[in-house]
Amino acid sequence: MATGDIKDLSKHFGTLSVFDNVDLHIDDNEFVSILGPSGCGKTTLLRIVAGIEAATGGSVIVAGEETHRPRPDTTLVFQNFRLLPWRTVEDNVGYGLRLRGKSKAEARRLAGPYIEMVGLRGREQKYPYQLSGGMQQRVGLARALAIRPDTLLMDEPFGALDAQTRELMQDELLKIWSADRKTVMFVTHSIDEAIVLSDRVIVMQSNPGRIVADIRVPFERPRHSAEIRSDRRFAELRGEMWALLRNETGSPAMLHGATGD
């Protein structure tokens, strides 16, 4: 994506204010995570940026143009895999290409490199029920990448995975992002995940949702999650972000998952 700007964005449901006056700038090829407790509006914010939900006020500007609807150069990746159970890995990865007018043969050809990129070579003819949760999420990621978007919007894509698989997928995403850099806006409630993946972490608080910190992550790329987690700066950043979240709620329920994966 060219640079993107969220300007004075607000979202209300009747008298309920989800968030107000949100301003955020994202640079081209930057990986930015939105971190916050349940109810702070981070997923709603992502959906507005994706053009699938309307804001109450303010604007989203991409490449100098205000946008109100889904863009062909932007892909949204959800927590649930949303794979078509009657299609193989190959055809699920190529599904977005088919929607864009590619023939079945061309979609399969173009899907091949992305299947390999996410480590599923040899499983092209498997169906979703034959894959683990981690493999299914790899298929979803390959499908998103296959249409060659400029921007990836990711809504807690690893939230439903077990801790070990989640960490493996974080490393997989780090590798893919380093090889084929995209602008990424990544929603998470996990402090660890935000630090491991991001160039910047935007911390939100709720009632109503608002940005309370914009924290730059100091680790060089390429990265590996195990190395980052053992660095003393990781613990310092984690403590800083935890304090911001804890100061708002003090409630373990509201901060579910915030302290780790």
In tens, the pLDDT along 223-246 reads: 888 889 999 999 999 999 999 988
Structure tokens at 15: 């008298």
Q: Which residue has the higher pLDDT, 38 or 106?
A: 106
Q: Which domains does the chain have, with CATH numbers?
A: 1-65+170-224+243-261 (3.40.50.300)
**Which band of pLDDT confidence, cut at 50, 70 and 90, is reported for residue 39?**
confident
Q: Could you read off the pLDDT of 121-152 as tens digits, one per residue?
A: 999 999 999 999 889 988 998 998 899 888 99
Rounded to the nearest 5°, which phi and psi values hold at 203? -95, 130
Q: Identify any residues that bridge with 214 across adjacent strands, giving them in sequence order.
A: 202
Q: Are 206 and 52 in contact (CB under 8 A)?
A: no
Rounded mean pLDDT, 52-81:
86
CA nearest neighbour of 158 among 171, 175, 145: 171
Q: Are 78 and 144 in contact (CB under 8 A)?
A: no
**Which band of pLDDT confidence, cut at 50, 70 and 90, is reported for residue 22?**
very high
Predicted model pTM: 0.87
